[in-house]
Amino acid sequence: MRFFYISLLIMVFFILSACNSSQQVKPIKEESIDFDIKTAIEMVQKKEKLIIDLALKENVSIMDYEELEKSFTNEFGNYAKDILSIFFLNTMESKPESDSGMYIKQDTFYPTVFHEGINVTNAVIDKTYYENEFLNQTRLSIKEEYIGDDEKLKDWNREYIFTPNEAGEWELHGFSGVLNFVGVEYKMNYLELKK
C-alpha cells in the first residue's frame, strides 16, 4: 500500500512538473450537487453510534478494546486511533498489566447527531474537473451544527469529508471543525440524548 502512494506521488510530481511552471493547474469546471440528506444522516449516525455506545461506558476490557479498534477502523479508517484516543486514559501502547481494562475519560464531550440540538444541516458533493482527468476530484461534505441555546456550543460545527474509493463507496477522508470538548464541565451527557 505504501508503494502505491509513493508511486502515485511520483506520477503526480511528473505530471505537474511537465506543465509550464509559470501556470497554475486550474480546473476547467466545478460543480456542487445536493446529496440526499437522509442518506447523509444515516452515514453520520452509523459512525456516531459507535461513539455514543463507547462514551456511555466506564471502562472496557483489553479484549473489548481490540474489538472496538476493529469496528472504529471499519468506520473511521485511518482516523480510528485518533478518535479512540479522545476517550481512553490508556492507549494500546501503554496497556494496563491487569485485565481490569481501560478506563474511559469522563471529562470529554463528543457532540453527536444523537444529542439534542445537533443536526446534520448540509450534504453536498463537490466535483472538480481538470484537462488532465487524472487530477479530477470528487468529495462529499456532510456538515453537523449545534442549533440550540448553549453559549459554549454556539457556532459549533463539524464537517465529515468523504471521497469515493475504488469501489465507488464513500470513505472517510477527513474532518474539519471541532471534534470534541474537554474539561471538568464536559461529560458525554453534556447535552441530553434525543428521545
Rounded Cα–Cα distance for residues 1 and 165 (Å): 14
Q: Lowest mean pLDDT of 44-48, 89-93, 172-176, name the range.
A: 89-93
**What is the mean predicted confidence (pLDDT) over 8-15?**
61
- Inform me whether the pLDDT recorded for 5 exceeds 80: no
Which helix (H) or strand (E) is 62 found in, with range? Answer: helix 62-76
pTM: 0.79
User: CA 123 to CA 154: how far, in whole Å?
Assistant: 21
Please give the residue that has the higher pLDDT: either 181 or 92: 181
Residues 162-171 have a mean pLDDT of: 92
Q: How much is the pLDDT for 11?
A: 63
User: What pLDDT is attached to residue 188?
Assistant: 86
Confidence band for 59, pLDDT divided at 50, 70 and 90: confident
Label residue 1 by pLDDT band (50, 70, 90). low
Say which residues have a Cβ less than 8 Å from residue 178's Cβ, sequence separation at least 6: 156, 157, 158
Q: What's the pLDDT at 100? A: 62
pLDDT given at position 2: 57
- Confidence tier at 113 by pLDDT (50, 70, 90): very high
The CA distance from 140 to 168, in Å, is: 12
Of the pLDDT bands very low, low, confident and very high (cuts 50, 70, 90), residue 56 is confident
pLDDT score for 19: 52
β-pair type (157-164, 170-177): antiparallel
What pLDDT is stored for residue 189 in this prediction? 87
Q: Which residue has better confidence, 3 or 35?
A: 35
Please report the pLDDT score of residue 151 as a whole number.
Answer: 93
φ and ψ of 149, to 5 deg? -105, -5
